[in-house]
Amino acid sequence: MAEITRNGVERMLKRLERFGKEAMDELLDDILAILTSEDVERAALTPRERADIIALIKGRYTPQAFFNALQVAARILEDQRKALPAREVLKPVERRVQFGVELVPSMSLDKVVEYARRFELGGADFVWITDHYTNRDPYVTLSLIARATDVMNLGVGVTNPYTRHIASTASAVASLDELSEGRAALGLGPGDRSTLAALNIELEKPLTRVKETVLALRALWSGEPVRFDGKTVRLEGARMSFRPPNEIPIYIGAQGPKMLRLAGEIGDGVLINASNEKDFELASKNIKSGVEAANRKLKDVDVVAYTCFSVAESEADAKKAATPVVAFIAAGSPENVLERHGLDVEKANKMKELISKGKIPDAFALVDDDFIEAFSVSGTPEQCINKIETLLKAGVTQFVFGSPLGKKKKDALQLITEKVMPAFTA
């Protein structure tokens, strides 16, 4: 275990101060969760260590208190690690729907891995790691998760064919599949226009680019030399020196009708950023159209609800936590989507204007229950269960718990794994 130094703790606290009180409180919660366990009673604490732990409990942040508390926590965790038996191999849970969780690697990698492992222990089938250049690399993140998990499927949700070359994506996903013994999945979409613009990348022929990338990736994974002469993808005898152990499923991130039809034609699944049954009823028609055009069966396509999800014991707390995410969704939604849900277009445009001016709290204040109902699955566990049931009737076969999860991630994780998912056991 790495040595914890006083100077190191002071540097860590200074970095946390830049992120704000929420980051500091989250670290404190983690430390106190360890220090309030039964193990701390068996630990040989010095009077100073005990006094510093009490100071932290009372909310007095000092480098000395953090230093001593971390030292004690490290000793306890090391003792717990030594006492652990060999990890029991988990078995997938039989349910009427598959469940996944979206994790954004904006937090530390250790934290992402911890959440992924907890969701697997709770019975989740998939973990989806977002791919954005501002965050930790999804393939590094998923590799660490692969080592910490047993049965959970590991998806990139989603990457795009513009910021990453097809050869890089092919190798990275195949390597992950080998490392995880066949648990890798690739989510592929056209990318976010604003992000690509910031990187001076043109969103050129997105439908064609996604289709050709899917076909070329599968050809590369065959291990044979690939000559691909497409409109946006060209390969001249490219060949990988190894093959993934299993056929890697490709999920297409889709919103518009043409991309949804493409997902039905060539995708193993489709990732849809939506939380309301109206969106899935419309999406299902387009997916079915693509499936029929390719002489496939609808059951061959995993229809994934990639939702804004927020659960809490209190409905008000759940909705409050979802409000920031909903505001950004509403601000970015086209007028026809707003009208489909009977939402106030003028209010959504005002949110967009306020966000563009940096007046974020003012934009959040405009979010009402109608927007939350349209763009999130939020509420108590019972309310969320009912909303998921509605989505299943609209054709959803995998439900993904997306940001923000809830007021506090740890509490939301417990509610999801102990109350929401068990309600769908077959």
User: Is residue 3 very low, low, confident or very high in pLDDT (cuts 50, 70, 90)?
Assistant: low
Least confident segment among 54-68, 101-115, 246-260: 54-68
Least confident segment among 16-20, 58-62, 185-189: 16-20
Residue 419 CB coordination number (10 Å): 16
Structure tokens at 371: 């927007």
SS3 sequence, 226-273?
A: EEEECCCCEEEEECCCCCCCCCCCEEEECCCHHHHHHHHHHCCEEEEC
In the predicted model, is pLDDT for residue 13 greater than 70? Answer: no
Q: Is 98-424 a CATH 3.20.20.30 domain?
A: yes
For the segment 314-359, what is each residue's pLDDT rounded down to a tens digit? 999 999 999 999 999 999 999 999 999 999 999 999 999 999 999 9
Report the pLDDT averaged over residues 389-401: 98
First to last CA, the chain: 42
Residue 228, beta-bridge partner list? 235
Average model confidence (pLDDT) across the chain: 90
Report the pLDDT averaged over residues 302-311: 98
Instruction: For residue 12, count CB atoms less than 10 angstroms from its CB and return exposed for 0-12, middle for 13-18, buried for 19 or more.
Output: middle
Choose the most confident range, by mean pLDDT, from 25-34, 87-96, 232-241: 232-241
Break the chain into its structural domains and give their ranges. Answer: 6-83, 98-424
Report the pLDDT averaged over residues 283-304: 97
Report the pLDDT averaged over residues 132-157: 96
Helix (H) or strand (E) holding 185: strand 184-188
Are 365 and 327 contacting, i.e. CB atoms less than 8 angstroms apart?
no
d(CA 371, CA 358): 21
pLDDT of residue 72: 77
In the predicted model, is pLDDT for residue 1 greater than 50? Answer: no
pLDDT of residue 103: 97
pLDDT of residue 49: 79
Structure tokens at 236: 């001249």
In the predicted model, is pLDDT for residue 22 greater than 90? Answer: no
d(CA 239, CA 171): 10
d(CA 18, CA 31): 20
Report the pLDDT averaged over residues 33-45: 67
Choose the most confident range, by mean pLDDT, from 25-29, 59-63, 103-107: 103-107
In the predicted model, is pLDDT for residue 116 greater than 70? Answer: yes
What are the DSSP calls for 47-78, one per residue? HHHHHHHHHHHTT---HHHHHHHHHHHHHHHH
Q: What is the pTM of this model?
A: 0.81
Closest CA to 283 of 246, 243, 248, 252: 252
In the predicted model, is pLDDT for residue 210 greater than 60? Answer: yes
